[in-house]
Amino acid sequence: MMEDPPYKVLIKKRVLKGLDKLPERVQDKFWVLAHDLAVQGPMPKGWPNLSKLTGDNYHCHLEYRWVACWRYENGSFVIEVYYVGSREGAPY
């Protein structure tokens, strides 16, 4: 029997809609990241340029041009992905 991961990853609806417009390899990397967030928490190991931004916000590069951003409130078990897209359009 598989256990539920320790963190719940919520993905904003607009992120899911925009994800379809990204290259397939970037979409695949995002789903691996979402799994790693659920299992390891807001700072999963092995992701390039992963860092904490201001406040409760984090980001990492899926590829050179593509990033993901999420919010995690310390002490919570919920991670909210609020952006996946180009570096140029990232909200940081």
Tokens of 34: 């979402």
pTM for this one? 0.91
pLDDT at 3 (0 to 100): 74
CA terminus-to-terminus distance, the chain: 40
Kindly indicate the confidence band of residue 2, based on its pLDDT and cuts at 50, 70 and 90: low
| 35-39, 71-75, 87-91: least confidently modelled range | 87-91
Kindly indicate the confidence band of residue 35, based on its pLDDT and cuts at 50, 70 and 90: very high
Sheet of strand 57-61: strand arrangement:
8-11, 78-86, 66-72, 57-61, 51-52
Helix (H, G, I), strand (E, B) or coil at 11: strand
Segment 50-63, tens digit of pLDDT:
999 999 999 999 99
CA 23 from chain center: how many Å? 16
Predicted confidence (pLDDT) at residue 1 exceeds the cutoff of 60:
no
Predicted confidence (pLDDT) at residue 25 exceeds the cutoff of 60:
yes
